[in-house]
Amino acid sequence: MRRAGLRVRVIAGFAAGALALSATMALVSFQVVRRSLLDERERTAVRAAYYDAEVVRSGLGSAVQPDTVIGLLRALDTGENRRAVLQRDGEWYSRQADTGVTDAIPAALQRRAAEGVPAVQRVLADGRATLVVAVPLPDGDVLYEVDSMQELEHTLGVLTGVLTAVAVSTAALGALLGWYASRYVLRPLTRVADAAQEIAGGASKYRLDPAAEPDLARLTTSFNHMVDELSARVERDRRFAADVSHELRSPLQTLAAAASVLERRRDRLDDRTATAAGLVTDEIARFQKLVDDLLELSRGDRPAARAAVDVPALARQVCRDRQVPEGIVGGDGAGPWLVDRRRVSQLLGNLLDNAQAYGGGAVAVRLALVDGVGRIEVDDEGPGVSPDDKQVIFGRFVRGRSAGARADSAGAGLGLALVAQHAAAHGGTATVLDRPGGGARFLVELPGCAP
Amino acid sequence: MSAVLVIEDDDRIRLSLLLALEDEGYAATGAPTAEEGLAAQRSRPADTVLVDLMLPGIDGFECIRQLRRADDVPIVVISARDDTQDIVEALEAGADDYLVKPVAVKELTARLRALRRRARVVADDEVPVLRFGALEISPEAGEVRLHGRPVPVTRTEFQLLCELAEHPGRVLSRQQLLQRVWGYDTGDERLVDVHVGRLRQKIEADSGAPRHLVTVRGLGYKLQR
């Protein structure tokens, strides 16, 4: 989530930057162009107005008839956009019939012109931009030229459109650039994330290539170093457990053989010695189980060696080995399952042992193969497992607090940890539930069991 | 009384095993090195040999090879090592069974009894010669012939071959073979695989592409004509 956020921020930043830059550029250039176009237009209009004024002035005698005035105005070459009107003795003279054109001339302009001051003003006439030029003539006459700027307005409108489009597409380009840049910059980080995922998934040999990204060499080097350190530590812990257990095996062999000699002569020993010999023998058996379990745990990360196994038959065998009636094995799990025989055998045995030690013995073993998922349920009618214990029961060296626990059958607390480990080796899970009607129900689910 | 030779360099383990085996009714003798063990076996052959793998001088693997070159005495490995590599190498060298320390005396004697049973089966059964192409198996005589020439097989290999030959064309699972040949209720299937591999080298023209002793994937092995 955070990575996506960073990428989004980079893209947004690039887009906003590009937009700000292009909008400023567009605004400035629009202003400059508009200013110069308007000035140019005004100069042209004023020049034309003075020229026309000269024509009108030379044409007007001391006493001229209105028809002559209109004729003079008509003779002016004003084109389509320019309209000339003459104010003479408070009368308006126009070459066109319409009088609306005089409405466009502001009163303030008229006053100034009447005082003999030439003036130019931009006004809105009927919602259209219009330029009014006033040229005072001798005798208090004033020639006004009303110039439509519609064409200019149109040009500016097109310019606005073009500049807006340019700004928007620049922003889009910026976003694209940001997307590319963020992808490019984040790519090495993506590789680091991928590597971390691989390593978490068990590929402890996975390393990054520091030469691939010289700018990130420090990151990749320290990442590799960290992974090396971690895997070395994990390996050291694993090896330590394995080595300790291993070293215990040889003396245990001596103890086991010597204990059997004691055991055989038990009836020839006096009571105290016999009791002591019995204790020694029992403890050696427990010790042996502990060493076996520890070694098994230290081998935990090995994958399951799957083969076709008749699990119901295996479950009955495991029951027989423990003098548990094999009739408790039920369910519809017939047919071969693809599982690691050794692991499943130990898993079943440990669940039965656990039920024996804490639940007064297993009352049902149900096996089912549904959609390739092998389900193993072991029920007991003991006191059940408290919610607190459910959290930790599959941990190492965790022993039940049940009052019914018999110390002599209780192991070192590795049995259920191994159950969880064997389930995990198959990519599955082990959980403990409440059995309907009292007691505990241990459920193991092993995916990928369909042959 | 059955004689057992224990080749084990750890004095305490050797002594305790000798005591326990004598208690169980075996005539047990010990040797602290492979050299002494091999010499003892030459001068006074025991019925079964127990070998540790980590021995000074000649190691356990070489000791098994030398014992096997001499005869088909049943060899049981007792080792603290339980890596697949060690187990397979020891079995390929010619061991009949592999036990990981610490092994309970009851378990050890059960294994020794199973080996003795195998040895007796050869003498007791009266079944005519079984033929699989150029391969002839005569359970009565305890002999295997290929193209008429005798093939030297160990007792365990012979027993394995007989179990398969008695059910021609039928697939026997590794667990069934473990139970019938080694007497295990549940055991290490690598025992079967390595012994099958050893047998193939002796009875197949091309052990990489066997014609008689074939693997049925996911199920087990069968012997066919």
**Out of B10, B15, B104, whose CB is closest to A256?**
B104
For tokens 């030297």, what's the residue?
B152
Q: What is the CATH number of the domain that holds A245?
A: 1.10.287.130
Is residue B77 within 8 Å of B33, Cβ to Cβ?
Answer: no
Residue contact A256–B103, C-beta within 8 A: yes
Q: Per mean pLDDT, which of A215-219, A342-346, A409-413 is the most reliable?
A: A342-346
Q: Is A238's Cβ below 8 Å from some Cβ in B?
A: no
pLDDT at residue B189, rounded to an integer: 83
Task: Name the minimum distance, in Å, from the CA of B82 to any CA of chain A.
Answer: 9
Q: Which pLDDT score is estimated for A24?
A: 92
Give A399→chain B minimum CA distance, Å: 25
**What total of structural domains would you count in chain A?**
3
Q: Which residue has the higher pLDDT, B81 or A378?
A: A378
The list of chain B residues with pLDDT below 50 reads 123
Nearest partner of B73 among B149, B160, B5, B141, judged by Cα: B5
Identify which of A43, A93, A197, A435 has the alpha carbon closest to the alpha carbon of residue A208: A197
Look at A256 and B13 and tell me if their CB atoms are within 8 Å.
Answer: no
**Nearby residues of B191 by Cβ (< 8 Å), 6 or more positions away:** B91, B97, B98, B178, B182, B184
Residue A70 belongs to some domain of the structure: yes
Tell whether A313 and A414 lie within a shared domain.
yes
- Probe site for chain B from A249, A253, A294 (most B CB atoms < 10 A): A253
Same domain, yes or no: A129 and A15:
yes
User: How much is the pTM?
Assistant: 0.62
- State yes or no: pLDDT of A2 exceeds 50: no
Same domain membership, residue A134 and residue A35: yes
A128 with A33, same domain?
yes
pLDDT band at A403 (very low <50, low <70, confident <90, very high): very low
| Contacts by residues B52-56 (CB-CB < 8 Å, ≥ 24 positions apart) | B52/B7, B52/B8, B52/B9, B52/B10, B52/B13, B52/B77, B52/B78, B52/B79, B53/B77, B53/B79, B53/B81, B53/B86, B53/B90, B54/B9, B54/B79, B54/B80, B54/B81, B55/B7, B55/B9, B56/B9
Q: Show which of A298, A324, A356 is a domain's final residue.
A: A298
Q: Which of B10, B17, B23 sits opposite A264 (nearest CB)?
A: B23
Cα nearest neighbour of A244 on chain B: B80
> From residue B131, how far is each of B102, B127, B147, B206 by CA, in Å?
43, 12, 11, 19
Looking at residue A406, which CATH number applies to its domain? 3.30.565.10
Q: What angle do CA B213, B217, B222 make, to 5 degrees?
A: 25
The tens digit of pLDDT for each residue in A252-275 reads: 999 999 999 998 888 899 999 999
Here the tokens at position A27 are 């605004």
Domain B3-119 has CATH 3.30.450.90: no
Higher pLDDT: A158 or B206? It is A158
Cβ–Cβ below 8 Å for A252 and B102: yes
pLDDT greater than 50 at residue A41: yes
Identify whether the C-beta of residue A321 lies closer than 8 Å to the C-beta of residue A294. no
Average pLDDT of chain A to the nearest whole number = 84
Q: Which domain holds residue A276?
A: 215-298
d(CA A49, CA A57): 12
Q: B128 to chain A nearest CA, in Å?
A: 34
Q: Looking at residue A190, what is its pLDDT?
A: 81
Are B12 and A251 within 8 A, CB to CB?
A: yes
- pLDDT exceeds cutoff 80 at A126: no
Mean pLDDT of A137-148: 82
Q: CA–CA separation, A272 vs A266, rounded Å?
A: 11
Using CB atoms, pick whichever of A261, A320, A345 lies closest to residue B19: A261
Q: List chain B residues with CB under 8 Å of A250.
A: 10, 13, 80, 101
Pick the CATH number of B126-223 from 1.10.10.10, 1.10.1040.10, 3.40.50.300, 3.40.1010.10: 1.10.10.10
Residue with tokens 């042992």, as numbered in its chain: A353
Q: pLDDT tens across A98-124, in order?
A: 666 777 788 888 888 888 888 888 888
pLDDT digits (tens, 9 = 90+) for A188-197: 778 888 888 8
Which chain A residues are closer than 8 Å to B215 by Cβ? none
Say if residue A404's pLDDT is above 50. no
Asked if residue B15 lies in contact with residue B30, where contact means CB atoms within 8 angstroms, the answer is yes
CB contact under 8 A, A258 and B189: no
B-chain CB neighbours of A261 within 8 Å are 16, 19-20, 23
Supply the pLDDT for residue A1.
Answer: 44
Contact A260 B105 (CB under 8 A): yes
